[in-house]
Amino acid sequence: MKRLLSTMLILCSIMIIMAPLAAMADGRETAKIEVAGDVLKEIIAIPETTIPPALLSNASGIAIIPNVIKAGFILGGRYGTGVLVVRDKDGLWSNPSFISITGGSIGWQIGVESIDIILVFKNEKSINRILSGKFTIGADASISAGPVGRGGSAATDIQLKSEIFSYSRSRGLFAGLSLEGAALIIDEEANEKVYGKEGILARDIFSNKDLKAPEAADRLKKLLTEYTGRDHK
């Protein structure tokens, strides 16, 4: 009997300890969505260097990866986590799935410790490859530095054959970026924590409109909808 009571006390203690830790983990992931929304909002606010609205209006998805850490001098590796949202057949933006980016190089950015990265996907083919497993930029889909500005040459640039357009922001500067060799991976653990469903797939997150999501996810979707001129539902 004493052994049973001792075991129960130990289990209760573990649950008491783990509960706040789980809540903290959920909080970190939710904060990641909020930061992604902030990055998008700040970039939109600068017309001269923003992502062309026409590009996002015709995009199948967008990944926002804040605070990607760079290692090395001039050329080096990187690691970061962010979110991926996609459009459904009605043109509405989905709830975000968490993703991570690893490897590759960030080019000639001496002294930069972290950058914000945005990837705009022109078609569903690239997104489906990400959902199928590890996805290497440049090998599994062509990529190029994206055009900037609300008008100008953006309309012409959008017709380029690249499947993904990339952008980066560091020290307040916003410009195109080469990400050849970087790998994008669905963060299944983060998705499970935030949506509260074990084994939930990114496809489920994108397709299930009744899925309970953090308020930060609704804010991000509204920002994208407003910027691309679609009615939010």
Q: For 129-147, how does the pLDDT look when each residue is reduced to its tens digit (9 = 90+)?
A: 999 887 888 788 888 777 7
Q: How far apart are CA 229 and CA 182, in angstroms?
A: 31
Q: How far apart are CA 120 and CA 44, in angstroms?
A: 14
The amino acid that residue 141 corresponds to is: A
**Which range (47-56, 138-147, 154-163, 218-227) has the least confidence?**
154-163
State the pLDDT confidence band at 54, using cuts at 50, 70 and 90.
confident
With H, G, I as helix, E, B as strand and everything else as coil, classify residue 108: coil
The model's pTM: 0.78
**DSSP state, residue 104:** S
What average pLDDT does the structure give for the chain?
Answer: 75
The pLDDT, as a whole number, for residue 195 is: 93
Q: How far apart are CA 63 and CA 127, in angstroms?
A: 10
| Alpha-helical runs (H) found in the chain | 2-44, 53-57, 124-131, 154-157, 188-195, 202-207, 215-228
Q: Which residue has the tokens 């797939």?
A: 201
Give per-residue pLDDT as tens, 66-106: 988 655 444 445 578 999 999 988 889 999 999 998 876 54
